[in-house]
Chain A
Amino acid sequence: MNGWIPVLCVLVPLLGACALPFAGKRSPKIRNALALALVAAAFAFSLASLPAALAGEPLAVRVKLPLGLSFGLVADALAVFMALTSSLVAAVIVIYSFGYVREYDNQNEYYMMVVLFIGAMMGLVHTTNLIFLYMFWELSAVCCWRLIGFYREEIAVARANKAYFVTVAGALVMLAGFLGIYAQTGTFDLEAMKGFPLPAWAVVLILFGILSKSATFPLHSWLPDAGVAPSPVTSLLHAAVLVKIGVFAYARLFVGTFVIPEIFALAVPVIAALSALLSAGLALRANDIKRVIAYSTVSQLAFILLGISSGTEEGFVGGLLYILAHAVAKGGLFLCAGIVEHSVHTKDITKMGGLAKRFPLTAIAFALCAASVMGIPPFSGFFAKYLVIDGMLAAGHPLLAAVFIIGAVMTVLYLARLFAKVFLGPPAFPDAKEGTSGMVASVVALAALALLLGLAINLPGSLAALIWEAM
């Protein structure tokens, strides 16, 4: 029986999503409830598979197929960690979008794509086969395309197309890498290829896909442009879940399964450093509230990539904690931006100011989430940043650690500037009213979660340490 939990965790959202439009035709209330129920189901199932993962023998289902395409879903520690993170944040975002998406049309498609996306994420996290990893990867790219183009305006659809091109181009190059591996090992099954030494060109090809999905410097251009999407979408896709796929793939492939040449333990951190600094610089200059936060995401993702690719235990554990902390905090930031933009109808921060008086709860939540992203204790961001820099020093690159400290300083600068420009200073919109109670509640919940995770850091910390042993 236990093998069924991962399968249900993947299939329930995927199949449930197809039923959403029909539920929507009957009544929006049923559809909203069903959407939340599906995401909550995903969370529940991954929670159910946690004890087995902790005990060391993960729940799994495996089907042998020809051509090395054997289908397999394994809920090991890394999978459960990622599944819990993404479905938890997704649940909060779905609650948030009840209030946000209410007055726009084609909501049925919106909820269908969100739940489909979560299903794809669950599948991607649990799969043990390269082709099915690619399958869920592309499915999430399609959901991302439909969601970014939600407003159906000219600019929104153009940006959605751009996001689709960059991510799918990266994915296709990655598929070429997978075919290269298949030519050498004769199978796509990750468990069969554990410990196989990868040639450098295969790693470079796969890195293309990873860097395009996790928006690292050369391939990051689609993420800031995707600000045209509704806030819950940017929060779900570009903060909490979609961008984590690339980093997860790095952990699953290059740390968990394959042995990659030594050069990459230095090359990837250097790329990450470049991306971190550049996007931090851009965040300091951007004037669109969502673009600043998007650049900040690009910069923090470079941090996570650094942690995971440092090759040391501290770095890896720090990277995983960073994924959790960043998903929660950055999700909160985007949602706060959503509330502000939703009621003042402009995204230009130079026109905003003094909103703290009108939006007290949003301002506090924004400040708490920003503190967690800056890495200020007692929030979870601090522990993650501490361990990532520690990992970098353990790997013996003090110079890179210093560069990332500069990145952290710039993070403090641009987030402080953003907070000051939006919430402090002379009041610009005296009669703006805060979003619905659902939206504000979800934002405060995320901020509280960031604080709570900080104080109870040893729960995710021990899970992350366990993942390192399993690697």
Chain B
Amino acid sequence: MSSILNGIPYVFVAAPLFAFILNNAVPRERMRSHAVALSGGVAALQLAAAILGFALLAASGRGEVRFGLFWSVDAAGAAYLRVNLVSLFLLLCVGFVALASALTAAKTIDDHRCSFANLFMALLLGMNGMLLATDLFTLYVFLEITGTASFVLIAMYKSSKGLEGAFKYLTMSALATIMMLTGLALLFMHTGSLAFADLGAAALSGASGEMDILCYGALALLISGFAIKAGAAPFHSWLPDAHQSADTAVSILLSGIVIKIAGAYGFIVLVELFGDLYAVRLSVAALGVATIAFGALLALVQTHFKRIAAYSSVSQVGYILFGIAAGSPLGLVGALLHVFSHAAFKSTLFSGAAALHEQLGTLDIEQMGGLQKNMPVTGFASVTSFLSAAGVPPFAGFWSKLLILISLWQAGWIGLSAAALGLSILTGAYFLRLQKKVFFGPRNPRWDDVKEIGGTIRASQIVLSAVNLGAGLCFPLVLLYLQSIGLI
């Protein structure tokens, strides 16, 4: 049993690498048609491996599984890679969103297929690497890889004029890089080693018992760096423009999982290491409130379908930050489950956007109207994503939000919990406006002859809606399973 468990972590690194090599080895003409299928296969493999790994690891009861591919892992001070329950769950989410993106990409991406596959693998490697890293510097390196890969994916299909969104993403990432590197440098200077094991509030306080200014500065810079990557409130400016100029398949990846792994996972690590420092959790909570409020308010006034979805992602990241800020295991579980449910309903929404773009040619919601009649599947999928995002009970979104609210209330932040509840009515507001303008409102004669989208996008919409509803309905079973492995 443990042999399989030890083998599984290798899949997450070997599979994308092998696919990358295969993608470039086979001559371009034949590879063109299978490139996206290959990336879909890799995503599916990762998803399966993560599920199997999670089950085995939970059953085996071992905290984590260390591995170093060619080297022994027990050398002193070795920066090995490891896999634990949190990272396995996030790897599962990565696989799930990558699969959804591949399904959409099969329809929407018709040129540069090989390059898309290459960058898809690079992005996958970046994210997997971040989740497997055991020290802050490796985490930063893989963060940069994810950043570069997603920048190129965004800028890939645009003419020189359309590079504006990608350019904004690049400049903001550069700012994040500067801050994170200085933070890491300050930390390294103070503690001598960046491995998770050595770091921790105790290590930081050192002999004198209280933190000196530089360590506070380091933490502040690290938090703002991850905030930019996560698209938290004051730093979210790049997200909508990046989404508007990126292809829909890339948008699914970007808002479905990249901002979660690059941003939220960073916060998970920080709170895990320096959680008992009240300032860290307070600043994450403050970011959370600002993110939800700004995201929702801005989403309410947009006229482009994907910008609304982008701001909605910004807003939902706020809830994940809330879960992390609570600091309790229940909060962490809530945040992770919200990562999964957000991935599910955001991918649904974006595949809806892809369908609309394919069939109508435009994504300006002012020109749409009453499409429920012509495009019932897309309409139904958008309703499931609305209900799950707004936290309407039978859907997955509600349960994860509920856990986050309970953890916030138990952490003593009653005001924040009430604010989260109040702001979720804003979530409902902008989704209802979207429904009214696009699907539910009076019919626009211009789209009378529009037919429903076919192929993989319809399949992905149906599967994703089923996941949204299914995860919600059998959530009590998930709770029982989590209790059996002692997480709640």
Contact, chains A and B (beta carbon distance below 8 A): yes
Contact residues in A for B476 (Cβ distance below 8 Å): 63, 65, 69, 71
Within 8 A of A (CB), among B386-418: 387, 390, 392-394, 398, 402-403, 405-406, 409-410, 414, 417-418
Is B329's beta carbon under 8 Å from chain A? no
In Å, the complex CA distance between A122 and B443 comes to: 35
In Å, the complex CA distance between A198 and B298 comes to: 39
In Å, the complex CA distance between A165 and B390 comes to: 11
Interface mask (A257-283 → B, CB under 8 Å = 1, otherwise 0): 000000000000000000000000000
Contact residues in A for B393 (Cβ distance below 8 Å): 131, 134-136, 138-139
* Stretch from B92-100, B117-125, B434-442, B451-459 contacting the other chain: B434-442
Chain A nearest CB from B11 CB (Å) reads 32
* Stretch from A79-87, A174-182, A216-224, A427-435 contacting the other chain: A174-182
* Nearest A-chain residue to B436, judged by Cβ: A157
In Å, the complex CA distance between A369 and B153 comes to: 67
- Once A157-B441, A161-B436 are accepted as A-B contacts, the answer to whether A172 and B425 lie under 8 Å apart by CB is yes
Interface mask (B418-434 → A, CB under 8 Å = 1, otherwise 0): 10011011001100110
Contact residues in B for A106 (Cβ distance below 8 Å): 372-373
* Nearest B-chain residue to A109, judged by Cβ: B372
Which of B387, B429, B443 interacts with A165 by CB under 8 Å? B429
* Nearest A-chain residue to B477, judged by Cβ: A65
Which of B372, B394, B425, B488 interacts with A135 by CB under 8 Å? B394
The reply to whether B406 and A67 form a contact with Cβ atoms under 8 Å apart is: yes
Interface mask (B464-488 → A, CB under 8 Å = 1, otherwise 0): 0000000000001001101100001
Contact residues in A for B398 (Cβ distance below 8 Å): 135, 138
* Stretch from A146-154, A228-236, A299-307, A445-453 contacting the other chain: A146-154
Is A158's beta carbon under 8 Å from chain B? yes
Is B370's beta carbon under 8 Å from chain A? yes
Contact residues in B for A168 (Cβ distance below 8 Å): 390, 425, 428
Which of B392, B421, B479 interacts with A138 by CB under 8 Å? B392
Is A459's beta carbon under 8 Å from chain B? no
In Å, the complex CA distance between A164 and B387 comes to: 12
Query: How many chain B residues have a CB neighbour from A under 8 Å?
Result: 38
Q: Give chain A's interface secondary structure class.
A: helix
Is A439's beta carbon under 8 Å from chain B? no
Which of A71, A141, A153 interacts with B442 by CB under 8 Å? A153
Contact residues in B for A182 (Cβ distance below 8 Å): 406, 409
Chain B nearest CB from A66 CB (Å) reads 4
In Å, the complex CA distance between A135 and B417 comes to: 19
Interface mask (B28-42 → A, CB under 8 Å = 1, otherwise 0): 000000000000000
Chain B nearest CB from A187 CB (Å) reads 12
- Once A65-B479, A168-B428 are accepted as A-B contacts, the answer to whether A158 and B421 lie under 8 Å apart by CB is no
Is A142's beta carbon under 8 Å from chain B? yes
The reply to whether B410 and A183 form a contact with Cβ atoms under 8 Å apart is: yes
- Which of A65, A106, A164, A172 has the most chain B CB within a 10 Å cutoff? A172
Contact residues in B for A180 (Cβ distance below 8 Å): 409, 414
Is A356's beta carbon under 8 Å from chain B? no
- Which of A71, A173, A175, A182 has the most chain B CB within a 10 Å cutoff? A175
The reply to whether B440 and A173 form a contact with Cβ atoms under 8 Å apart is: no
Within 8 A of B (CB), among A163-219: 164-165, 168-169, 172-173, 175-176, 179-180, 182-183
Q: Give chain B's interface secondary structure class.
A: helix
Contact residues in B for A172 (Cβ distance below 8 Å): 421-422, 424-425
Chain B nearest CB from A182 CB (Å) reads 7
In Å, the complex CA distance between A369 and B68 comes to: 80
The reply to whether A131 and B421 form a contact with Cβ atoms under 8 Å apart is: no
In Å, the complex CA distance between A73 and B428 comes to: 29
Chain B nearest CB from A7 CB (Å) reads 14
Which of B370, B402, B482 interacts with A152 by CB under 8 Å? B370
* Nearest A-chain residue to B379, judged by Cβ: A109
The reply to whether A154 and B441 form a contact with Cβ atoms under 8 Å apart is: yes
Is A105's beta carbon under 8 Å from chain B? yes
In Å, the complex CA distance between A460 and B394 comes to: 34
In Å, the complex CA distance between A139 and B425 comes to: 15
* Nearest A-chain residue to B441, judged by Cβ: A157
Chain B nearest CB from A271 CB (Å) reads 22
In Å, the complex CA distance between A106 and B443 comes to: 13
Contact residues in B for A66 (Cβ distance below 8 Å): 479-480, 482-483, 488
Contact residues in A for B387 (Cβ distance below 8 Å): 142
The reply to whether A176 and B417 form a contact with Cβ atoms under 8 Å apart is: yes
In Å, the complex CA distance between A175 and B479 comes to: 20
Which of A69, A135, A158, A165 interacts with B428 by CB under 8 Å? A165
Q: Which 5 A-B residue pairs are closest in the complex by CB-CB distance?
A: A135-B393, A66-B483, A172-B421, A161-B432, A138-B392
Other A-B contacts than A67-B406, A106-B372, A172-B424, 9 sampled, CB-CB below 8 A, are A67-B488, A131-B393, A134-B393, A135-B394, A141-B392, A152-B443, A157-B440, A172-B425, A176-B421
Which residues from chain A sit less than 8 Å from chain B, CB to CB? 63, 65-67, 69, 71, 105-106, 131, 134-136, 138-139, 141-142, 149, 152-154, 157-158, 160-161, 164-165, 168-169, 172-173, 175-176, 179-180, 182-183
A-B contact pairs, 5 of them (CB 8 A): A71-B476, A142-B392, A161-B432, A161-B433, A164-B432
